[in-house]
Amino acid sequence: MKKWTRSLIAVLLVFTAILGFIPAKTAHAQDANSFISSMIQLPTGSYNTKEAQAMIGRIQRIPAPILKALNDKGVKIILTNDIITNVPELNYLKGVTPRGWEKTGLTWDDVPGVSEKDVVVRIGYSQKGKGHNSFNLEIHETMHAVDRFVFNTVSSSQEFKDIFNKEASVNYKGDGYFSAYPEEYFAEAASMYVYNDNTRKQLKDSTPLTYAFFDKLFNK
């Protein structure tokens, strides 16, 4: 059974701050640091530490109170060097075709990230096109956990479904995924909201109802 360690988390957080991956809002970053260190699990052995630092920094863009709520729920974020189905908790997904991928010939063995009880993402697969269509892999998968464990699956609420029906097709028309499943639209739009000022503005300009929903949800 593969063992995971958090022995390098403190070092990574220091390097992340030095290299500027943590957002400039120092108070938010310091708050997020206290939660992220107990949530992140790193692989043993060699791996791309620079990319792991960057992934941790991007996850810290999620508001600190939300990260704290995830941590309080016992959610872990596992950064792996391996295919995700080799993580012991995900062995049961080997050979299984993900929902929405039925015509691709691919299985969970080919997917670089998933959000179950814990979030599991492959190091070096953050960008769109690296086995997924999400704007950012680690934030998208973490937002699924936020949806379920922090906001009690708010993506299934009538309020959000109404917004989904009106705006999901604006940016994702015919994609068969973000425009087809409210929970996927939630995770992707939430990622755009927190990623940076530019993506937040894009969200506001193109889908104002979606923007207003997250602006209220994340600033309670």
User: Could you give the residue numbers annotated as active site?
Assistant: 141
Write the DSSP string, 66-93. Answer: HHHHHHHTT--EEEESS-GGGSGGGGGG
Q: Provide the 3-class DSSP secondary structure of residue 133.
A: coil
Tell me the C-alpha distance between 141 and 135, whole Å: 11
Tell me the C-alpha distance between 190 and 32, whole Å: 17
Neighbours of 182 (CB within 10 A): 21
Q: How far apart, in Å, do the first and last CA atoms of the chain sit?
A: 41
Tell me the C-alpha distance between 9 and 23, whole Å: 18
